[in-house]
């Protein structure tokens, strides 16, 4: 049975009364009973260890299909299918995600089988952590391979629910995929059990009662329907669980100044008061390879490490600019790479985005244009493109906004400095996934943090038509990021845009955006420079909003495993 798919390489720790998987090969059932709490801790840490490889793909599959990032060019790496929506059935990264997910499900299921509830508070905490990990993973699997909950969850397929192998391995047949509704129900049941069992005040590097509540808040938000057709029952439950986390008193939003250094804090650092749960990475286990090929290495080159080939999108940058100047604290995670001369001086420039057309006159995309800024005798600005001078018209000098008429069309751009280009794209590095403990691209991927709870409240209240409470919670996040940036009102005409934009700004580069658009029945529009087919919008009804199950897992599966269309 060694061929029982990569999908379940860690299945059933105790199926032969012996733990035959490194580093647990010395843990027999008898040894576990000798010192149950210590033994279970070792086994539970094995589950946490699996999250490290899992979280790398989790980030890419959640963030890359969104509109926060752009890549400098096409890539042969399997992650490019997430960006391009050109899905393939042999995506190696998705195989890692699927395999690690079911390893965690298997290992946590075996722990659940061997731990008897009620033996002690400490053992109950461990049992709760196992339930949390299993429930969280089912949710992530369900939203990656199953269609958005608002789209017929009773009939659309989620993932197989296999909580450990049956006793008869010689005649092994595993079930096909459960429905989206049943997959979410499995996650909810596990997380509610976790909530009931956990009471220890552990750091954000471990599952806690509040981590389970935070995940339930998100799951119910995903189930709350669209703004146009909300499910108020689930919106109410999302509110309930968000408030449980907030009222626990265990977490506080970082100050504006501290938040601008959020990426530098480890999840269990004393300065960290906002993170609820993260997949902790430590420098001693983070190799030179990880600094290049990990999450942050694609977003920037820092301290001489990283490829720096994927940048903040023009759409995301424009959202930041809406606050005016550099007033939004979330600029702290964007690091523009400016060109300097031999003495370290920068050159003033004007930068704008223009439409690109093919020979037949059909628009095919967008591109950046930047040129050094020059002054007319009257003090106004102009730039030279080729041999032609183009005058700039002031829109808002205080915010460095000017317009230009180029090739018969008026474009708005930014007075700034000449930036370094990668191919033809200005290099707006992203640092939110780097610099933990000031170590290049060391990063502990965030699963839940307090700011999300306020944003969940804002959206859920809006879906219930309670715009006063929606406004209150939206402004809690907005006021921290933008001094004097609070909205004075929220209503049916502006709530969707304001809440969605704030969520995009705040949770960018944390693997939310690739799901948030589709769960609310919206269309992903990426009308900005990059090789990502910018003229192709992706509606929530598209087949490509969910991933293919790796064909290798289907081939190895002992039973039917239905592929996505």
Domains defined for the chain, CATH in brackets:
32-253+544-556 (1.25.40.390), 348-419 (no CATH)
- In this predicted structure, the answer to whether residue 341 has a pLDDT above a threshold of 50 is yes
Dihedral sign, CA of 373, 374, 380, 381? negative
Give the per-residue pLDDT at 34: 65
Give the per-residue pLDDT at 242: 98
Please give the DSSP secondary-structure letter assigned to residue 332.
G
The owner of tokens 């474009």 is: 411
Residue 30 banded pLDDT, cuts 50, 70, 90: low
Give the per-residue pLDDT at 325: 87
Give the per-residue pLDDT at 9: 38
Give the per-residue pLDDT at 28: 53
Among 491, 476, 489, 60, residue whose Cα is nearest residue 242: 476
Among 100, 101, 104, 97, residue whose Cα is nearest residue 13: 104
CB 72 within 8 A of CB 529: no
Q: What angle do CA 183, 113, 192 make, to 5 degrees?
A: 45
pLDDT tens readout for residues 35-50: 677 778 888 999 999 9
The chain-wide mean pLDDT, for the chain, equals: 93
For residue 379, count CB atoms less than 10 angstroms from its CB and return exposed for 0-12, middle for 13-18, buried for 19 or more.
exposed
Among 559, 531, 563, 560, residue whose Cα is nearest residue 549: 563
**Which pTM value belongs to this model?**
0.94
pLDDT tens readout for residues 275-320: 999 999 999 999 999 999 999 999 999 999 999 999 999 999 999 9
- In this predicted structure, the answer to whether residue 26 has a pLDDT above a threshold of 70 is no
Give the per-residue pLDDT at 38: 78
Q: What region, left, alpha or beta, does residue 138 occupy, with left being phi > 0 and alpha being psi -120 to 50 degrees?
A: alpha
Give the per-residue pLDDT at 33: 62
Average pLDDT over residues 531-544: 97
Whole-number Å distance between alpha carbons of 112 and 271: 34
- In this predicted structure, the answer to whether residue 477 has a pLDDT above a threshold of 90 is yes
Average pLDDT over residues 396-414: 97
In the chain, the percentage of residues whose pLDDT exceeds 90 is 89
- In this predicted structure, the answer to whether residue 24 has a pLDDT above a threshold of 50 is no
- In this predicted structure, the answer to whether residue 23 has a pLDDT above a threshold of 60 is no
Give the per-residue pLDDT at 10: 35
CB 214 within 8 A of CB 457: no
pLDDT tens readout for residues 147-161: 999 999 999 999 999
pLDDT tens readout for residues 170-214: 888 999 999 999 999 999 999 999 999 999 999 999 999 999 999
Q: What angle do CA 232, 238, 242 make, to 5 degrees?
A: 145
CA dist 318 → 247, 324, 355, 364 (Å): 35, 10, 17, 21
Average pLDDT over residues 341-359: 97
Among 419, 425, 406, residue whose Cα is nearest residue 355: 406
- In this predicted structure, the answer to whether residue 5 has a pLDDT above a threshold of 50 is no
- In this predicted structure, the answer to whether residue 52 has a pLDDT above a threshold of 70 is yes
Q: Which of 20-24, 99-103, 345-349, 426-430 has the lowest mean pLDDT?
A: 20-24
Give the per-residue pLDDT at 126: 96
Whole-number Å distance between alpha carbons of 331 and 334: 5
pLDDT tens readout for residues 70-98: 999 999 999 999 999 999 999 999 999 99
Among 110, 107, 113, 124, residue whose Cα is nearest residue 37: 124
Give the per-residue pLDDT at 6: 32
CA dist 549 → 80, 464, 555 (Å): 16, 35, 11
CB 474 within 8 A of CB 498: yes
């Amino acid at each position: 049975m060694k061929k029982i798919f990569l999908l379940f390489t860690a299945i059933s720790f105790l199926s032969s009364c012996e733990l035959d998987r490194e580093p647990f090969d010395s843990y027999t059932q008898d040894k576990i009973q000798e010192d149950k709490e210590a033994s279970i801790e070792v086994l539970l840490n094995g589950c946490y260890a699996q999250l490290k490889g899992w979280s790398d793909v989790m980030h890419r599959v959640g963030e890359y299909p969104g509109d926060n990032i752009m890549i400098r060019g096409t890539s042969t790496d399997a992650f490019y299918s997430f960006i391009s929506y050109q899905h393939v059935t042999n995506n190696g990264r998705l195989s890692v995600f699927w395999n690690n997910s079911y390893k965690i499900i298997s290992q946590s299921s075996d722990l659940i089988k061997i731990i008897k509830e009620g033996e002690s508070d400490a053992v109950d905490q461990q049992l709760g952590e196992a339930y949390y990990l299993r429930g969280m993973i089912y949710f992530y699997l369900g939203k990656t391979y199953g269609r958005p909950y608002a789209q017929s969850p009773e009939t659309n397929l989620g993932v197989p629910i296999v909580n450990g192998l049956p006793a008869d391995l010689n005649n092994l047949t595993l079930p096909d995929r459960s429905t989206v509704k049943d997959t979410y129900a499995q996650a909810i049941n596990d997380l509610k059990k976790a909530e009931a069992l956990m009471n220890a005040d552990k750091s954000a590097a471990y599952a806690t009662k509040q981590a389970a509540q935070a995940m339930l808040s998100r799951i119910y938000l995903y189930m709350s329907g669209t703004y146009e057709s909300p499910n108020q029952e689930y919106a109410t439950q999302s509110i309930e669980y968000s408030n449980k986390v907030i009222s626990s008193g265990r977490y506080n939003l970082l100050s504006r100044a501290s938040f601008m250094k959020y990426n530098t804090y480890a999840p269990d650092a004393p300065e960290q008061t906002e993170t609820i749960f993260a997949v902790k990475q430590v420098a001693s286990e983070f190799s030179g390879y990880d600094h290049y090929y990990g999450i942050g290495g694609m977003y920037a080159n820092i301290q001489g490490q990283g490829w720096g080939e994927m940048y903040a999108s023009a759409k995301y940058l424009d959202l930041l600019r809406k606050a005016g100047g550099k007033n939004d604290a979330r600029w702290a995670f964007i690091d523009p790479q400016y060109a300097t001369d031999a003495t370290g001086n920068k050159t003033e420039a004007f930068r704008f985005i223009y439409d690109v057309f093919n020979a037949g006159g059909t628009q095919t995309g967008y591109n950046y244009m930047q040129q050094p800024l020059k002054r007319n005798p009257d003090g106004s600005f102009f730039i030279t493109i080729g041999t032609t001078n183009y005058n700039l018209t002031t829109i808002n000098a205080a915010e460095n906004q000017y317009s230009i008429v180029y090739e018969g069309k008026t474009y708005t751009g930014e007075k700034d400095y000449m930036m370094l280009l990668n191919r033809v794209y200005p290099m707006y590095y992203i640092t939110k996934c780097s610099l933990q403990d000031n170590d290049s691209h060391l990063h502990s991927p965030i699963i839940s943090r307090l700011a999300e709870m306020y944003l969940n409240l804002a959206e859920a209240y809006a879906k219930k038509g309670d715009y006063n409470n929606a406004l209150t919670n939206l402004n809690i996040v907005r006021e921290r990021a933008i001094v004097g940036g609070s909205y004075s009102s929220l209503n049916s005409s502006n709530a969707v845009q304001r809440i969605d934009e704030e969520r995009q700004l705040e949770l960018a580069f944390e693997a939310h955006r690739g799901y948030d658009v589709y769960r609310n029945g919206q269309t992903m529009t990426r009308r900005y420079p990059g090789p990502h087919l910018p003229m192709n919008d992706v509606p929530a009804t598209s087949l490509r909003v969910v991933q293919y199950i790796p064909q290798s897992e289907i081939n190895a599966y002992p039973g039917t495993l239905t592929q996505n269309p």
